[in-house]
Protein backbone atom coordinates (compact mmCIF):
# COMPACT_ATOMS: atom_id res chain seq x y z
CA UNK A 1 0.00 0.00 0.00
CA UNK A 2 1.28 3.42 -0.88
CA UNK A 3 2.37 5.77 1.86
CA UNK A 4 0.46 8.60 0.20
CA UNK A 5 -2.75 6.57 0.32
CA UNK A 6 -2.32 5.84 4.01
CA UNK A 7 -1.59 9.48 4.79
CA UNK A 8 -4.57 10.62 2.73
CA UNK A 9 -6.87 8.16 4.49
CA UNK A 10 -5.63 9.24 7.90
CA UNK A 11 -6.20 12.89 7.03
CA UNK A 12 -9.70 12.09 5.79
CA UNK A 13 -10.47 10.21 9.01
CA UNK A 14 -9.25 13.09 11.15
CA UNK A 15 -11.22 15.62 9.11
CA UNK A 16 -14.42 13.58 9.31
CA UNK A 17 -13.96 13.06 13.05
CA UNK A 18 -13.36 16.74 13.70
CA UNK A 19 -16.08 18.03 11.40
CA UNK A 20 -18.76 15.69 12.66
CA UNK A 21 -17.84 16.04 16.33
CA UNK A 22 -18.25 19.78 15.88
CA UNK A 23 -21.42 19.29 13.84
CA UNK A 24 -22.84 17.01 16.52
CA UNK A 25 -22.31 19.79 19.03
CA UNK A 26 -23.80 22.34 16.68
CA UNK A 27 -26.65 19.90 16.04
CA UNK A 28 -27.70 20.28 19.67
CA UNK A 29 -27.63 24.05 19.18
CA UNK A 30 -29.77 23.83 16.03
CA UNK A 31 -32.18 21.51 17.77
CA UNK A 32 -32.61 23.80 20.73
CA UNK A 33 -32.99 26.87 18.54
CA UNK A 34 -35.44 25.35 16.09
CA UNK A 35 -37.54 23.73 18.78
CA UNK A 36 -37.57 27.04 20.60
CA UNK A 37 -38.68 28.98 17.52
CA UNK A 38 -41.42 26.47 16.82
CA UNK A 39 -42.62 26.87 20.40
CA UNK A 40 -42.36 30.69 20.24
CA UNK A 41 -39.32 30.81 22.48
CA UNK A 42 -35.87 32.20 21.84
CA UNK A 43 -33.73 29.28 22.91
CA UNK A 44 -30.15 29.79 24.09
CA UNK A 45 -29.31 33.49 23.85
CA UNK A 46 -26.83 34.41 26.53
CA UNK A 47 -23.54 32.68 25.72
CA UNK A 48 -22.00 34.35 22.71
CA UNK A 49 -23.89 36.01 19.86
CA UNK A 50 -27.37 34.45 19.62
CA UNK A 51 -26.20 31.78 22.03
CA UNK A 52 -23.79 30.27 19.51
CA UNK A 53 -21.15 29.57 22.15
CA UNK A 54 -23.66 27.60 24.22
CA UNK A 55 -22.17 24.52 22.59
CA UNK A 56 -18.77 25.40 24.00
CA UNK A 57 -20.23 26.07 27.42
CA UNK A 58 -22.02 22.72 27.37
CA UNK A 59 -18.83 21.01 26.21
CA UNK A 60 -16.75 22.54 29.00
CA UNK A 61 -19.40 21.56 31.51
CA UNK A 62 -19.64 17.98 30.29
CA UNK A 63 -15.90 17.49 30.08
CA UNK A 64 -15.13 18.86 33.53
CA UNK A 65 -17.90 17.11 35.42
CA UNK A 66 -17.13 14.33 37.82
CA UNK A 67 -17.21 10.91 36.24
CA UNK A 68 -19.55 8.82 38.38
CA UNK A 69 -19.87 5.05 38.18
CA UNK A 70 -22.76 3.95 40.41
CA UNK A 71 -22.11 1.44 43.18
CA UNK A 72 -23.89 -1.58 41.75
CA UNK A 73 -23.09 -0.88 38.12
CA UNK A 74 -20.98 -3.33 36.14
CA UNK A 75 -17.97 -1.07 35.79
CA UNK A 76 -16.22 -2.12 32.58
CA UNK A 77 -19.42 -2.46 30.54
CA UNK A 78 -20.82 0.74 31.98
CA UNK A 79 -17.67 2.56 30.94
CA UNK A 80 -17.38 1.10 27.45
CA UNK A 81 -21.03 1.58 26.42
CA UNK A 82 -20.85 5.27 25.44
CA UNK A 83 -17.69 4.57 23.49
CA UNK A 84 -19.59 1.96 21.47
CA UNK A 85 -22.27 4.46 20.53
CA UNK A 86 -19.87 7.21 19.52
CA UNK A 87 -17.35 4.93 17.83
CA UNK A 88 -19.87 3.01 15.73
CA UNK A 89 -21.52 6.25 14.65
CA UNK A 90 -18.21 7.46 13.27
CA UNK A 91 -17.22 4.05 11.90
CA UNK A 92 -20.40 4.10 9.82
CA UNK A 93 -19.14 7.28 8.21
CA UNK A 94 -16.28 5.37 6.57
CA UNK A 95 -18.38 4.18 3.64
CA UNK A 96 -20.35 7.38 3.09
CA UNK A 97 -19.18 9.79 0.35
CA UNK A 98 -19.65 13.24 1.82
CA UNK A 99 -18.86 15.20 -1.34
CA UNK A 100 -18.18 14.40 -4.98
CA UNK A 101 -14.54 13.82 -5.83
CA UNK A 102 -12.58 16.98 -6.49
CA UNK A 103 -9.07 18.05 -7.43
CA UNK A 104 -6.99 19.84 -4.84
CA UNK A 105 -6.53 23.47 -5.88
CA UNK A 106 -3.14 24.23 -7.54
CA UNK A 107 -2.35 20.51 -7.88
CA UNK A 108 -3.69 17.65 -9.95
CA UNK A 109 -4.25 15.45 -6.91
CA UNK A 110 -7.75 13.95 -6.98
CA UNK A 111 -9.42 13.60 -3.59
CA UNK A 112 -12.25 11.13 -3.02
CA UNK A 113 -14.12 12.37 0.06
CA UNK A 114 -14.91 8.85 1.21
CA UNK A 115 -12.67 6.94 3.58
CA UNK A 116 -13.19 3.50 2.01
CA UNK A 117 -15.32 2.84 -1.07
CA UNK A 118 -16.10 -0.71 -0.06
CA UNK A 119 -18.40 -2.55 -2.45
CA UNK A 120 -20.78 -3.49 0.39
CA UNK A 121 -21.09 0.16 1.46
CA UNK A 122 -24.73 0.39 2.49
CA UNK A 123 -24.61 -3.03 4.14
CA UNK A 124 -21.59 -1.89 6.14
CA UNK A 125 -23.20 1.42 7.13
CA UNK A 126 -26.43 -0.18 8.29
CA UNK A 127 -24.56 -2.99 10.05
CA UNK A 128 -22.30 -0.68 11.99
CA UNK A 129 -25.18 1.63 12.87
CA UNK A 130 -27.04 -1.40 14.16
CA UNK A 131 -24.05 -2.33 16.32
CA UNK A 132 -24.38 1.17 17.73
CA UNK A 133 -27.53 0.03 19.49
CA UNK A 134 -25.31 -2.04 21.78
CA UNK A 135 -24.29 1.23 23.42
CA UNK A 136 -27.70 2.04 24.94
CA UNK A 137 -28.45 -1.64 25.44
CA UNK A 138 -25.27 -2.53 27.36
CA UNK A 139 -25.09 0.80 29.12
CA UNK A 140 -28.61 0.50 30.45
CA UNK A 141 -28.23 -3.12 31.46
CA UNK A 142 -24.97 -2.37 33.27
CA UNK A 143 -26.06 0.74 35.14
CA UNK A 144 -28.31 -1.10 37.66
CA UNK A 145 -31.18 1.33 37.39
CA UNK A 146 -34.82 0.45 36.94
CA UNK A 147 -35.51 3.10 34.34
CA UNK A 148 -32.38 2.08 32.46
CA UNK A 149 -33.59 -1.51 32.58
CA UNK A 150 -36.89 -0.52 30.95
CA UNK A 151 -34.85 1.38 28.41
CA UNK A 152 -32.82 -1.75 27.66
CA UNK A 153 -35.96 -3.78 27.06
CA UNK A 154 -37.25 -1.06 24.78
CA UNK A 155 -33.92 -0.83 22.95
CA UNK A 156 -34.07 -4.54 22.19
CA UNK A 157 -37.68 -4.39 21.00
CA UNK A 158 -37.13 -1.29 18.89
CA UNK A 159 -34.01 -2.81 17.42
CA UNK A 160 -35.63 -6.03 16.25
CA UNK A 161 -38.54 -4.05 14.83
CA UNK A 162 -36.93 -1.36 12.71
CA UNK A 163 -34.06 -3.47 11.40
CA UNK A 164 -36.55 -5.58 9.47
CA UNK A 165 -37.94 -2.50 7.78
CA UNK A 166 -34.57 -0.99 6.86
CA UNK A 167 -33.41 -4.24 5.33
CA UNK A 168 -36.58 -5.10 3.43
CA UNK A 169 -37.25 -1.57 2.21
CA UNK A 170 -33.73 -1.31 0.84
CA UNK A 171 -34.03 -4.60 -0.99
CA UNK A 172 -36.07 -3.15 -3.85
CA UNK A 173 -33.69 -0.24 -4.70
CA UNK A 174 -30.79 -2.65 -4.31
CA UNK A 175 -32.37 -4.93 -6.92
CA UNK A 176 -32.63 -1.98 -9.29
CA UNK A 177 -29.10 -0.65 -8.78
CA UNK A 178 -27.43 -4.01 -8.46
CA UNK A 179 -24.73 -2.82 -6.08
CA UNK A 180 -24.23 -2.14 -2.39
CA UNK A 181 -21.80 0.72 -2.95
CA UNK A 182 -23.15 4.17 -2.16
CA UNK A 183 -21.04 5.58 -5.02
CA UNK A 184 -22.81 3.22 -7.42
CA UNK A 185 -26.15 4.31 -5.97
CA UNK A 186 -25.15 7.91 -6.63
CA UNK A 187 -23.97 7.22 -10.17
CA UNK A 188 -27.21 5.34 -10.93
CA UNK A 189 -29.11 8.57 -10.23
CA UNK A 190 -26.54 10.96 -11.72
CA UNK A 191 -28.71 11.84 -14.72
CA UNK A 192 -30.78 14.46 -12.93
CA UNK A 193 -33.91 14.76 -10.87
CA UNK A 194 -35.86 12.40 -13.14
CA UNK A 195 -33.43 9.58 -12.36
CA UNK A 196 -33.85 9.71 -8.60
CA UNK A 197 -34.83 6.42 -7.05
CA UNK A 198 -37.54 8.12 -5.02
CA UNK A 199 -39.71 8.31 -8.17
CA UNK A 200 -39.45 4.61 -8.91
CA UNK A 201 -39.41 3.49 -5.25
CA UNK A 202 -41.53 5.96 -3.26
CA UNK A 203 -42.76 3.25 -0.88
CA UNK A 204 -39.25 2.07 -0.12
CA UNK A 205 -38.20 5.67 0.47
CA UNK A 206 -41.02 6.25 2.95
CA UNK A 207 -40.35 2.99 4.76
CA UNK A 208 -36.64 3.67 5.03
CA UNK A 209 -37.32 7.17 6.26
CA UNK A 210 -39.69 5.89 8.92
CA UNK A 211 -37.14 3.29 9.97
CA UNK A 212 -34.48 6.02 10.14
CA UNK A 213 -36.50 7.68 12.89
CA UNK A 214 -36.43 4.45 14.88
CA UNK A 215 -32.77 3.95 14.06
CA UNK A 216 -31.74 7.32 15.42
CA UNK A 217 -34.36 7.24 18.19
CA UNK A 218 -36.03 10.47 17.13
CA UNK A 219 -39.37 11.68 18.26
CA UNK A 220 -42.20 9.58 16.96
CA UNK A 221 -40.10 6.61 18.04
CA UNK A 222 -38.18 8.27 20.86
CA UNK A 223 -38.66 5.31 23.16
CA UNK A 224 -35.24 4.32 24.39
CA UNK A 225 -34.51 7.59 26.17
CA UNK A 226 -37.99 8.98 26.52
CA UNK A 227 -37.54 11.80 29.00
CA UNK A 228 -41.11 12.07 30.15
CA UNK A 229 -41.59 8.36 30.70
CA UNK A 230 -38.30 6.83 31.82
CA UNK A 231 -36.16 9.86 32.77
CA UNK A 232 -33.32 9.50 30.28
CA UNK A 233 -33.51 5.74 29.81
CA UNK A 234 -30.03 4.40 29.29
CA UNK A 235 -28.57 7.79 30.19
CA UNK A 236 -30.13 8.00 33.63
CA UNK A 237 -26.99 7.00 35.50
CA UNK A 238 -24.55 8.62 33.11
CA UNK A 239 -23.00 11.99 33.68
CA UNK A 240 -20.28 14.17 32.32
CA UNK A 241 -18.19 13.04 29.40
CA UNK A 242 -19.73 9.59 29.05
CA UNK A 243 -23.18 11.06 28.68
CA UNK A 244 -21.68 13.55 26.23
CA UNK A 245 -20.32 10.66 24.15
CA UNK A 246 -23.81 9.19 23.91
CA UNK A 247 -24.99 12.57 22.74
CA UNK A 248 -22.27 12.98 20.13
CA UNK A 249 -23.00 9.50 18.82
CA UNK A 250 -26.72 10.20 18.60
CA UNK A 251 -26.36 13.47 16.71
CA UNK A 252 -23.58 12.18 14.44
CA UNK A 253 -25.91 9.28 13.63
CA UNK A 254 -28.63 11.74 12.64
CA UNK A 255 -26.26 13.47 10.24
CA UNK A 256 -25.00 10.21 8.74
CA UNK A 257 -28.46 8.71 8.24
CA UNK A 258 -29.50 11.96 6.54
CA UNK A 259 -26.55 11.59 4.17
CA UNK A 260 -27.49 7.97 3.52
CA UNK A 261 -31.15 8.75 2.75
CA UNK A 262 -30.12 11.40 0.24
CA UNK A 263 -27.54 9.12 -1.36
CA UNK A 264 -29.96 6.21 -1.63
CA UNK A 265 -33.13 7.89 -2.82
CA UNK A 266 -32.60 11.53 -3.70
CA UNK A 267 -29.74 11.49 -6.16
CA UNK A 268 -26.86 12.16 -3.74
CA UNK A 269 -24.41 14.64 -5.26
CA UNK A 270 -25.62 13.96 -8.79
CA UNK A 271 -23.06 14.45 -11.53
CA UNK A 272 -20.41 15.66 -9.09
CA UNK A 273 -20.45 19.35 -10.02
CA UNK A 274 -20.11 22.07 -7.40
CA UNK A 275 -23.84 22.69 -7.66
CA UNK A 276 -24.47 19.00 -7.08
CA UNK A 277 -22.29 19.09 -3.98
CA UNK A 278 -24.22 22.01 -2.56
CA UNK A 279 -27.52 20.39 -3.46
CA UNK A 280 -26.29 17.26 -1.66
CA UNK A 281 -25.57 19.20 1.52
CA UNK A 282 -28.85 21.07 1.19
CA UNK A 283 -30.87 17.88 0.87
CA UNK A 284 -29.00 16.41 3.81
CA UNK A 285 -29.77 19.55 5.84
CA UNK A 286 -33.47 19.16 5.05
CA UNK A 287 -33.54 15.64 6.42
CA UNK A 288 -31.66 16.73 9.53
CA UNK A 289 -34.11 19.60 9.92
CA UNK A 290 -37.01 17.20 9.53
CA UNK A 291 -35.77 15.23 12.55
CA UNK A 292 -36.08 18.43 14.62
CA UNK A 293 -39.34 19.45 12.98
CA UNK A 294 -41.13 16.24 13.90
CA UNK A 295 -39.88 16.55 17.44
CA UNK A 296 -41.73 19.83 17.78
CA UNK A 297 -44.91 18.58 16.12
CA UNK A 298 -45.52 14.93 16.82
CA UNK A 299 -46.19 12.89 19.94
CA UNK A 300 -44.30 9.75 20.88
CA UNK A 301 -45.88 6.36 20.42
CA UNK A 302 -45.71 3.41 22.77
CA UNK A 303 -43.16 0.60 22.27
CA UNK A 304 -45.90 -1.93 21.53
CA UNK A 305 -47.34 0.43 18.93
CA UNK A 306 -43.96 0.72 17.28
CA UNK A 307 -43.57 -3.05 17.18
CA UNK A 308 -47.10 -3.42 15.85
CA UNK A 309 -46.41 -0.79 13.19
CA UNK A 310 -43.13 -2.31 12.11
CA UNK A 311 -44.10 -5.96 12.07
CA UNK A 312 -47.74 -5.92 11.08
CA UNK A 313 -47.99 -2.86 8.82
CA UNK A 314 -44.66 -1.81 7.41
CA UNK A 315 -43.10 -5.23 6.94
CA UNK A 316 -45.94 -6.56 4.72
CA UNK A 317 -45.81 -3.35 2.71
CA UNK A 318 -42.06 -3.71 2.29
CA UNK A 319 -42.45 -7.33 1.20
CA UNK A 320 -45.17 -6.46 -1.32
CA UNK A 321 -42.95 -3.68 -2.60
CA UNK A 322 -40.08 -6.11 -3.13
CA UNK A 323 -42.33 -8.59 -4.95
CA UNK A 324 -43.82 -5.92 -7.21
CA UNK A 325 -40.36 -4.55 -7.99
CA UNK A 326 -39.24 -8.05 -8.87
CA UNK A 327 -42.17 -8.58 -11.22
CA UNK A 328 -41.66 -5.21 -12.90
CA UNK A 329 -37.97 -5.94 -13.41
CA UNK A 330 -38.67 -9.41 -14.74
CA UNK A 331 -41.20 -8.43 -17.38
Partner 1 sequence: MSLEEFENRNVSEGAYYKVDIADYPETGWDKAKQVFSRAIKGELFVGLGVVMREMLKFDIHTVKYPLEKLPIGPRYRAVHEMQRLWESGTERCIGCGLCEKICISDCIRMDTKIDENSRKQVTEYTINLGRCIFCGYCAEVCPELAIVHGGRYENTSEQRAHYTNYEDMLTPFDMALKGQVPEYPGFGAVTPHEDERVKSTPLAY
What does the buried/exposed string (b/e) look like for 41-72 if buried means 16 or more CB atoms within 10 Å of the residue's CB?
eebbeeeeeebebbbeebbeebeeeeeebbee
The residue (of 78 and 213) whose beta carbon lies closer to partner 1 is 213
Q: What is the SS3 assignment for 280?
A: helix
Contact pick of 309, 310, 318, 322 for partner 1 (by CB under 8 A): 309
Q: Which stretch binds partner 1 (CB under 8 A): 7-15, 141-149, 228-236, 308-316?
A: 308-316
Q: Which stretch binds partner 1 (CB under 8 A): 61-69, 99-107, 146-154, 294-302?
A: 294-302
Q: Which stretch binds partner 1 (CB under 8 A): 40-48, 114-122, 153-161, 269-277?
A: 40-48
- Binding residues for partner 1, how many (CB under 8 A)? 17
Contact pick of 10, 22, 38, 323 for partner 1 (by CB under 8 A): 38
Q: Which stretch binds partner 1 (CB under 8 A): 23-31, 135-143, 268-276, 288-296?
A: 288-296
- Closest by CA to 23, choosing from 218, 268, 284, is 284
Contacts of 300 by beta carbon, 8 Å cutoff, 6+ apart: 219, 220, 221, 222, 223, 226, 229
Residue 25 C-beta: closest distance to partner 1, Å: 22
Q: Does 308 bind partner 1 (CB under 8 A)?
A: yes
| DSSP per-residue string spanning 20-56 | HHHHHHHHHHHHHHHHHHHTT---S-SSSGGGTTHHH
Q: Which residues would be at the binding site for partner 1 (CB under 8 A)?
A: 34, 37-42, 45, 293-294, 296-298, 308-309, 312-313
Amino acid sequence: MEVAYIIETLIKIVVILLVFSALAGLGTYFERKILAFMQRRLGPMHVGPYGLLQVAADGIKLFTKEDIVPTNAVGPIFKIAPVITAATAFMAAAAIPFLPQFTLPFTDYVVHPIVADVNIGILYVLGVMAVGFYGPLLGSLASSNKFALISAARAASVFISYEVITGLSLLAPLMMVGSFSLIDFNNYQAGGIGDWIIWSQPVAFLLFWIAAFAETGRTPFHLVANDHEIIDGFGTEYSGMRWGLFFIGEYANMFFISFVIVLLFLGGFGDGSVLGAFAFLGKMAFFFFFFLWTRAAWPDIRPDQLMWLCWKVLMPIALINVVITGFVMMF
